[in-house]
Homo-oligomer: A and B are copies of this chain.
Amino acid sequence: MKKGQGLLIHCKDQPGLIAEVTSWIQREGGNVVDLDEHVDPDEGMFFMRLVWQSPAGGGEDLARRFGAEIAEPKEMAWRSFRLEEKQRVALLVSKQGHCLHDILARWQAGELRCEIPLVVSNHESLRPTAERFGLNFHCLSSAEGSKAELEQRQQALLSDYRIDTVVLARYMQILSPDFVAAWENRIINIHHSFLPAFPGARPYHQAHSRGVKLIGATAHYVSDELDAGPIIDQETTRISHRDTARDLVRKGKDLEKVVLSRALRHHLEHQVLSWNNKTVVFD
């Protein structure tokens, strides 16, 4: 896997931004190995992802210097990352295991740059799967307390396990605004439709009843409004009149797991920049 220091930047577009940043890196003795920039001409916005190799090995001091010398004068929103550092991911699931299986198999095969210390569920059904992979499984059933209490215990778990990113791998509960606010752009959900078509409950049944000829899946960051956060990835597949609603569920699973894993991978590679309820995905 690739290594190096990274920068994710966005700001108002202005002349010379790329030269400013890359010259600074050159002055630090570094070498840019990956640069992807995007200017939104309608919004007048500049977006950039950049990976570079530093002889000094990077570190917080370097990032602080970049902030002071370049980012602040240019009024950039930015964050730095190190590709070698693995994020810590918690998976929230309910009863359906296809997304969980898929993420764990990829993770085991070394495709996902993360640790997965924790699986949380409101059901016991997927405990064996999680434990087979040696993961900690916590069941917080709705029988055990109010929604607020359960969320408090979830938050405590996420904190105990020093979680960076939460993946809702077909977790069928709606998180409270407070929870969502605490994890802005760090909770990834998979919704089983081509949003904005068929938000909410039972999208495959909605799709079947409407008679569409394609079904879809959407991975997005969770925001306050249900199924309306910034979209990271989507995919569709062809269906026909021969497919029952049950067939749509089955065929849709293949979309869901691919789209969710792809979105998670982009997120873990720091390729996703969220702005104005949309994403720039530097893939």
Contacts and interface: CB of A to CB of B under 8 A. Distances in A.
Contacts of A101: 101, 105
Contacts of A245: 42
Interface stretch (A78-86, A116-124, A152-160, A274-282): A274-282
Interface residues of A, number: 68
A123 to B, nearest CB: 15
Nearest to A274: B211
Contact of A105 (B102, B213, B234): B102
A273 B73 CA distance: 36
A240 to B, nearest CB: 7
Nearest to A210: B196
A100 B22 CA distance: 45
Nearest to A276: B211
Contact of A214 (B15, B31, B105, B235): B235
Interface in A227-264: 230-236, 238, 240-242, 244-245, 250, 253-254, 258
Interface stretch (A32-40, A137-145, A171-179, A180-188): A32-40
A97 B102 contact: no
19 contacts: A15-B26, A19-B19, A19-B26, A19-B32, A22-B23, A35-B35, A38-B241, A102-B102, A102-B105, A194-B194, A194-B216, A194-B236, A196-B212, A197-B197, A211-B278, A211-B279, A238-B238, A241-B279, A258-B258
